[in-house]
Amino acid sequence: MKNKTFVLDILILSALIVFLFVTAPSPLPLEPEQAKATVPIERVFEMVEAENDWVRDLWTKEIVQAGKKVNLEFDEDWREDDIDAGPLPALFLRETAKNLERHPLRLSLYLGSDFPISASNRFEGIQLQKFEQIKASNQPQFFFAEDTALYTAMFADIAIANACIRCHNDHKESPKSDWKLDDVMGATTWTYPKQKVSLDESIEILRLLRNSFKAAYSAYIEKARTFKNPPEIGAKWPREGYFLPDVDQFIEEAAQRASIDSLQSLLYMSAPVNPNKGLKTPATTTDTSKQDEQ
């Protein structure tokens, strides 16, 4: 009976992953035991971070880097009416984060650094301490931030493309001008108010993130249609010429890249917890106030 239930879980989650990005349906029904299951928020943070990595990689390499080769522009002031440009990678993340903030689930995303272009993105306090640990260990950090009363995860933000490096090295307000490929340029930071969530809520968080990616890309496409020399928008990508994929094409490609990881994460969440393996809960990794004082 347990095997049948687990197979049903796999089928339900697989179907959900296939449709989440493109159609954004209402969550599929889950078994009562599954709906009541509690998942450490660390697992959810790892899932959304993996999704974010895939989408940012797609945006950076296939849109920004390839787009610049065919004279598409990307600028920090891309929202201005007289600038025919799209958002830089960090601003695409910010656009995604803004869409997250509009939802009552309170999943938040923030990109910070110890050498940010904008002073508002500079890590301070416990986040700076945790970022130093990330650079030293190359491991994500999970903790409870007492000042915000939010469970928090920080993951290394790696320089994955020359476009990112050139932008930061050449920017007049950048405090650092010798970035190299694979440098830890900063950290993506996720926050959520709960230590544990149900599997239903985990799926809803994933759905929210994917809808936020879609809204961010849609905003770019809407802007691109207003360019003095608008690219052809449809099935082709910048690597093929002065083209941009439409929203459905971009989202479908993002789904194909991200969904295997997210399906594995959801299956991992739905599987029984082995007490000798798996992630530590935030309670065991975040109670660091006394350690930090020593």
At 19, the amino acid letter reads F
How many residues are given for the chain? 294
Question: What pTM did the predictor assign?
Answer: 0.79
- Look at residues 47, 58, 60 and name the one whose alpha carbon lies nearest to residue 16: 47
pLDDT 10s digits, 207-230: 999 999 999 999 999 999 999 999
Question: CA 20, 23, 29 angle in degrees (round to 5)?
Answer: 55
Alpha-carbon span 161 to 106, nearest angstrom: 31
List the domain boundaries for the chain.
2-272
Rounded to an integer, what distance in angstroms lies between the CA atom of residue 75 and that of residue 237?
19
Distance between CA atoms of residues 283 and 22, nearest Å: 36
Burial of 204 (0-12, 13-18, 19+ CB in 10 A): middle
DSSP one-letter code for 76: T
Provide the token pair at 40.
């450490």
Supply 210's token pair.
């994917």
Taking only the tens place, the pLDDT of each residue in 97-146 is: 999 999 999 999 999 988 877 777 888 889 999 999 999 998 999 999 99
